[in-house]
Amino acid sequence: MVLKKYNINPDLALERQKCTFDIEEIINIFDGGKEKTSQRRKIEDVVLKSGLCHDDVPEECMSLKERYENAVRKSCFFSKLMKTELQEITGIEDFETPAIRRIADALFKDISPFLLHLGMFVPTIIGQCTSEQLMIWLPKALDLQIIGGYAQTELGHGTFIRGLETTATYDADTEEFVLHTPTLTAHKWWAGGLGKTINHCIVVAQLYTKGVCYGTHLFMVQIRDLDTHMPLPGIKVGEIGPRMGFSSADNGFLGFNNFRIPRNNMLMKHAQVQKDGTYVKPARHGKLTYQTMVFVRVTLVNEAAFNLSKAVTIAVRYSAVRRQSEMRPNEPEPQILDYPTQQHKLFIGIATAHAFQLTANWLWNTFKSVLSDMKKGDVGTLPELHALSSCLKAVCTSDAALLIEQCRYACGGHGYMLSSNLPYIYSFVAATRTYEGDYTILLLQTARFLVKAWEQAEAGKTVTPTVSYISRSLKGEKNSWRSTDEGIIKSFQAVAAGKIALCVKSIRDRMKSGLDYEDAWLLTTVQLVDAAEAHCRSVILETYCNEVRRLTKSSSDNVKIVMHQLVTLYLSYWTLQRTGDLLRYSSISEKDIDFMQRQYEELLQHIRPNAVALVDAFDLRDEILHSSLGAYDGRVYERLMEQAENNPMNAEPVNQSFHKYIKPLLQGKL
Ligand SMILES: CCCCCCCCCC/C=C\CCC/C=C/C(=O)SCCNC(=O)CCNC(=O)[C@H](O)C(C)(C)COP(=O)(O)OP(=O)(O)OC[C@H]1O[C@@H](n2cnc3c(N)ncnc32)[C@H](O)[C@@H]1OP(=O)(O)O
Ligand SMILES: Cc1cc2nc3c(=O)[nH]c(=O)nc-3n(C[C@H](O)[C@H](O)[C@H](O)COP(=O)(O)OP(=O)(O)OC[C@H]3O[C@@H](n4cnc5c(N)ncnc54)[C@H](O)[C@@H]3O)c2cc1C
């Protein structure tokens, strides 16, 4: 759609005049510097001028088939643009992924069918191939001569990877693997792009050689003819059917009937099968084939932040424009943003988007540093990365989904319109809580790490920095509540330590009463999930505070003030959300809680004048927001009417169903 130009809504114009800080300064902080902001904007300009974002009919009014075909068209032209014009016009050689990621949303209200190609296929090639394999597949994948996906989940198993049923049996005579789908439940299910788009995919299968099963390994499999795109003989492939979201991502199913691939198509960076069928196991760590999942979990924290920032921008701008009810008799109707309950719904969204974005950047740097350790042969930091990426993926995607839904509530009935874009944003983020490891499952992975860390600390061993609070707790350090940033973080760490201690005790008590470790663990899993979530909260709180302090060192005073107001709001919000835990595990008193409540309510008032400016500082162009409620000019009612008028349902004054059914019904002739 072409966005009509309107004058700025007067309420929104007034809001912007109230701003106390330099918006550009905050934009630069989140982009990683002035230079990066300017690069990102250049990239956005190129894509927006390309005409690629235009749809003749609103996406939501297209059929599923039309949406898919439209998304393929755009994905192809966007890929071409990335390879050619973007590089030439901007002169930026090393594309910054966040900038490409952001502008991709101007093209796709839903999901690109190429998402898995960039999101998992290419990263798996990079992380799992030998250098010879890399030379064969990486250039082709980057140049889009082959398009791929990642088929791990099956109809019967997603979480439990060791339970996957697809087999890859080595035939030493022909030096090939035979891929087979032995049962209904062994069919690959869900892989993005698999249904109709991709011609290659990474397949996760149980490796058999010399009659022995060595567990799941990764294989590069061509599934379609490169010229005709027909499925190759022995391949059964298709789309799994309509879903809550991901409508244009053609998630697919895949079955193999004794389908043969060359030996060299097993990705052999970590484990190998030699020509004679001898298996060489990974030298360093048994879970290195899970690396792509860790990578995606890390990027999903960024997704949570980005999508939440879109939702809260829409809801805050709408709330500044929308007037409803009365605060006092005979006074004009206030902007709904003036209601403290509305501020309570929304300002935590702004603070959370900041907290998650800074945590995502920190986690990304941690990921890079672990990769560099691993290149040197040191896998010692991998368990902590796995524990961190697991809990942060779980908690950030889950919180973001809840807060995005809260943004929709904040927009009343209009938030329910697809043209608000809030339902799309929600359905995308809701899926992130499940895929790449379900919420509960990932928190249980973190819990394993925490219980081990507890046992290590108990044995007097040093533990890694993110769990050093466990050692302090074991030394008997008592928590004394202080309502400062540091004091609150320490108390949240005391909560996490207290919960881990109880889990360890529960497991031990249950074992003393005769249960084996597995049963004792299983019966404690409700507490273990809770302990891992508490640990994660303490990590986010600490990272957010540290990063804001670090990044605003040379900022202007006003930026420091507003960024710190958000940090304090976040800390107060979580303190009030977790008073039960804090009363149990820290020395917080009722008086302290009263103080925190008052502080929280005062902060809502302090942040109120800057609310619109704070969402403007996410610097999200209208084309990325795709929202009738959230455009920069605040012309909400004009856009709602525009989208109603453009609705294909209104193209004819009388629908044919009147003549076919209603009229005969009215006349008693049906
Ligand atoms: C043009 C547009 C561009 C836009 C770009 C936008 C980017 C957006 C990002 C989105 C990108 C892609 C979209 C993705 C779509 C979705 C894809 C998928 O969902 S793929 C499938 C994902 N599946 C899962 O995540 C499955 C979850 N299950 C598991 O991970 C495992 O089964 C697990 C961990 C639950 C259990 O595994 P297993 O049974 O093998 O292990 P154990 O439990 O016995 O543990 C043994 C031991 O290993 C440790 N461990 C486990 N996993 C790991 C790991 N990954 N790394 C390191 N260590 C690991 C575990 O902790 C145990 O340790 P121990 O010391 O013994 O306790
Ligand atoms: C939009 C979308 C896109 C996807 N894309 C891909 C893709 O491209 N490639 C791919 O391979 N997969 C993909 N998936 C699949 C996804 O990774 C799995 O759905 C996900 O890992 C969850 O696994 P599951 O569906 O088997 O759930 P299940 O494991 O069956 O989970 C169901 C419930 O059981 C609980 N549960 C399961 N095991 C345990 C346990 N041990 N302890 C306690 N509770 C348990 C879970 O917490 C959950 O509440 C996609 C999924 C979606 C929704």
For the segment 19-64, what is each residue's pLDDT rounded down to a tens digit? 999 999 999 999 999 999 998 999 999 999 999 998 888 888 899 9
The reported pLDDT for the residue numbered 129 is 97
Contact 232, 300 (CB under 8 A): no
DSSP per-residue codes, 86-109: HHHHH--SS--HHHHHHHHHHH-S
Q: Which ligand is nearest to the CA of 440?
A: 2
Q: Residue 571 and residue 573: Cα distance in Å, rounded?
A: 6
Residue 670 one-letter amino acid? L
pLDDT tens per residue, range 551-608 = 999 999 999 999 999 999 999 999 999 999 999 999 999 999 999 999 999 999 999 9
Q: Residue 130 and residue 272: Cα distance in Å, rounded?
A: 10
Q: Residue 285 and residue 288: Cα distance in Å, rounded?
A: 6
User: For 165, how many CA atoms within 13 A lie in the half-sphere containing its CB?
Assistant: 16
Contact 610, 21 (CB under 8 A): yes
Provide φ and ψ at 256, rounded to 5°.
-115, 135
The reported pLDDT for the residue numbered 99 is 86
pLDDT tens per residue, range 118-153 = 999 999 999 999 999 999 999 999 999 999 999 999
Largest CA distance in the chain: 90
Catalytic-labelled residue, pool 436, 533, 542, 623: 436
Contact 129, 137 (CB under 8 A): yes
DSSP SS3 for 280: strand
Residues 528-550: what's their mean pLDDT? 98
Chain centroid offset of residue 432 CA = 5
Contact 297, 442 (CB under 8 A): yes
Q: Which ligand is nearest to the CA of 302?
A: 1
pLDDT for residue 166 is more than 70:
yes
pLDDT for residue 2 is more than 60:
no
Say if residue 583 is exposed, middle or buried (CB neighbours under 10 Å; 0-12, 13-18, 19+): middle
Provide φ and ψ at 84, rounded to 5°.
-115, -90
Q: Is 435 close to ligand 2, i.e. is its CB under 6 Å away?
A: yes
Q: Residue 549 and residue 537: Cα distance in Å, rounded?
A: 18
pLDDT for residue 483 is more than 70:
yes
The reported pLDDT for the residue numbered 284 is 76
Residues 13-24: what's their mean pLDDT? 98
Q: Residue 297 and residue 359: Cα distance in Å, rounded?
A: 13
The reported pLDDT for the residue numbered 59 is 86
Q: Is 159 close to ligand 1, i.e. is its CB under 6 Å away?
A: yes
Taking each helix axis from N to C end, the angle separating 525-551 and 382-410, rounded to the nearest 10 degrees, works out to 80
pLDDT tens per residue, range 608-626 = 999 999 999 999 999 999 9
Q: Residue 509 and residue 320: Cα distance in Å, rounded?
A: 56
Residue 253 has what DSSP assignment?
A: E
Q: Which residues contact 509 (CB under 8 A, 6 or more apart)?
A: none
Residue with CA nearest ligand 2 atom 16: 435
Q: Residue 432 and residue 146: Cα distance in Å, rounded?
A: 26
Q: Residue 63 and residue 59: Cα distance in Å, rounded?
A: 9
The reported pLDDT for the residue numbered 273 is 98
200-209 and 212-222 strand pairing = antiparallel
Q: Residue 228 and residue 230: Cα distance in Å, rounded?
A: 5
- Indicate the pLDDT class of residue 94, thresholds 50, 70 and 90: low
Residue with CA nearest ligand 2 atom 39: 441
ipTM, two decimals = 0.98
Residue 190 has what DSSP assignment?
A: E
The reported pLDDT for the residue numbered 84 is 81
The reported pLDDT for the residue numbered 89 is 61
Q: Is 118 close to ligand 1, i.e. is its CB under 6 Å away?
A: yes
The reported pLDDT for the residue numbered 96 is 57
Give the chain's mean pLDDT: 96
Residue 125 one-letter amino acid? I
Q: To test the ligand 1 pocket, which listed residue (96, 159, 290, 301) has its Cβ within 8 A of the most ligand atoms?
A: 290
Residues 384-406: what's their mean pLDDT? 98
pLDDT tens per residue, range 285-338 = 788 999 999 999 999 999 999 999 999 999 999 999 999 999 999 999 999 999
DSSP SS3 for 347: helix
Place of tokens 């939501």: 60
The verdict on pTM exceeding 0.90 is: yes
Q: Residue 321 and residue 636: Cα distance in Å, rounded?
A: 8
Contact 570, 348 (CB under 8 A): yes
Chain centroid offset of residue 373 CA = 26
- Indicate the pLDDT class of residue 212, thresholds 50, 70 and 90: very high
User: For 492, how many CA atoms within 13 A lie in the half-sphere containing its CB?
Assistant: 29
Contact 374, 639 (CB under 8 A): no
DSSP per-residue codes, 457-526: HHTT----GGGHHHHHHHTTPPP---SSHHHHHHHHHHHHHHHHHHHHHHHHHHHHTT--HHHHHHHTHH
pLDDT tens per residue, range 269-292 = 999 999 999 999 988 778 899 999
- Indicate the pLDDT class of residue 167, thresholds 50, 70 and 90: very high
Chain centroid offset of residue 166 CA = 28
pLDDT for residue 1 is more than 90:
no
Task: Report the share of the chain in percent with pLDDT over 90.
Answer: 91
What kind and span of H or E run contains 287? none
Buried b (16+ CB within 10 A) or exposed e, 77-92: ebbebbeeebeeebee
Residue 74 one-letter amino acid? K
Residues 644-649: what's their mean pLDDT? 91
Q: Which residues contact 598 (CB under 8 A, 6 or more apart)?
A: none
pLDDT for residue 473 is more than 90:
yes
Residue 251 one-letter amino acid? N
- Indicate the pLDDT class of residue 90, thresholds 50, 70 and 90: low
- Indicate the pLDDT class of residue 663, thresholds 50, 70 and 90: very high
Residues 101-123: what's their mean pLDDT? 94
235-239 and 252-256 strand pairing = antiparallel
The reported pLDDT for the residue numbered 477 is 85
pLDDT for residue 92 is more than 80:
no
Cα(293) to ligand 1 centroid in Å equals: 5
Q: Residue 436 and residue 446: Cα distance in Å, rounded?
A: 15
Tokens at 233, concatenated: 């003989």
User: For 182, how many CA atoms within 13 A lie in the half-sphere containing its CB?
Assistant: 9
The binding site for FAD comprises 153, 192
Active site residue 436: yes
Q: Which ligand is nearest to the CA of 102?
A: 1
pLDDT for residue 472 is more than 60:
yes
Q: Residue 518 and residue 524: Cα distance in Å, rounded?
A: 10
Alpha helices for 91-165 (secondary structure H): 97-107, 115-116, 122-128, 131-142
Residue 323 has what DSSP assignment?
A: B
pLDDT for residue 97 is more than 80:
no
Residue 32 has what DSSP assignment?
A: T
- Indicate the pLDDT class of residue 85, thresholds 50, 70 and 90: confident
Cα(444) to ligand 1 centroid in Å equals: 12
Residues 211-217: what's their mean pLDDT? 98
The binding site comprises 153, 192
Place of tokens 């990683």: 32
Residue with CA nearest ligand 2 atom 25: 158
The reported pLDDT for the residue numbered 488 is 98
pLDDT for residue 460 is more than 70:
yes
- Indicate the pLDDT class of residue 455, thresholds 50, 70 and 90: very high
Q: Is 302 close to ligand 1, i.e. is its CB under 6 Å away?
A: no
